[in-house]
Amino acid sequence: KAGVTQTPRYLIKTRGQQVTLSCSPISGHRSVSWYQQTPGQGLQFLFEYFSETQRNKGNFPGRFSGRQFSNSRSEMNVSTLELGDSALYLCASSLGGLRGQGANTGELFFGEGSRLTVL
């Protein structure tokens, strides 16, 4: 089955601009979560959407937002970009999501990421 698709793969923005990234999960997966990966901070959890509702949120400012559509595709938006927002943004789809216990919980399938450079 098709994997997780993220677009765009690469983009360059300037400070103050905003950016929207897209993620199409594996068919049948209703959970989509987003992560920021930087050399200094590693992988950090941004938020998780499940059936169009945000149900988990990491410790990021309100400039970072997201949404999920009825077909489970998700977008994340970063407004008023700062230099420190330069990172690889990874999306992951999951059957079990990040809540609950037992099989499938936390089992994430990642996309290849969107590499954002802020100048």
Q: Which residues bind other proteins (CB under 8 A)?
A: 4, 33, 35, 42-45, 48, 55-59, 90, 92, 97-103, 105-113
Provide, rounded to whole angstroms, the least separation between the CB of residue 67 and other proteins: 19
Residue nearer to other proteins on the CB measure, 24 or 33: 33
Task: Tell which residue, 11, 8, 34, 7, has the closest CA to residue 81.
Answer: 11
| Residue 83 phi, psi (nearest 5) | -55, -35
Provide, rounded to whole angstroms, the least separation between the CB of residue 103 and other proteins: 7
Alpha-carbon separation of residue 52 from 2, 17, 67 (angstroms): 21, 26, 7
> Rounded to whole angstroms, how far apart are CA atoms 24 and 68?
10
Provide, rounded to whole angstroms, the least separation between the CB of residue 42 and other proteins: 4
Residue nearer to other proteins on the CB measure, 53 or 70: 53
Residue nearer to other proteins on the CB measure, 14 or 54: 54
If you count them, how many residues does the chain have? 119
